[in-house]
Amino acid sequence: MQDIIQAELNGLSFTKNFRSSSAEEWYIFLPHYHEPKTGGAAGKAIIQYDLFGNKDVFINTTIIFDDPKLHDSELHYLVYSIAEELINRLVGYADTLLVVHAGENSYHAEYINNE
């Protein structure tokens, strides 16, 4: 599984589809996973910024995996690793509330920078 995870992370790429003053949408591309109808992006990440008037700011991030193969519970560690890498690359060290939609591999997480 470690080799599979590393291969996907090495080939992970993304492109911004949409940006507004409060949100971004990114398409997620993986070497071995694709959206089944079009063969396109394996998923998307939506990053929402609610920065006005809140001293305890969280970035709300939703990752949706469209390839049903990533919904298989045997690939939980792969989905988790991809989501973690996306948070590191797209959000960085900001406090983040994460929701991942991937069938049986769906989960919620909270990333807090304690500095």
The pLDDT assigned to 102 comes to: 98
Q: Is the pLDDT of residue 114 over 60?
A: yes
CA distance 112 to 115: 9
For the cut 80, the answer to whether the pLDDT of residue 53 exceeds it is no
pLDDT over 70 for what percent of the chain? 92
SS3 114: coil
User: pLDDT tens digit string along 57-79?
Assistant: 778 999 999 999 999 999 999 99
Per-residue pLDDT, 106: 97
pLDDT for 95 beyond 70: yes
Kind and range of the H or E run holding 25: strand 23-29
- Average pLDDT for residues 9-25, to the nearest whole number? 92
SS3 for 28-62 is: EECCCCCCCCCCCCCEEEEEEECCCCCCCCCEEEE
State pLDDT tens for residues 96-110: 999 999 999 999 999
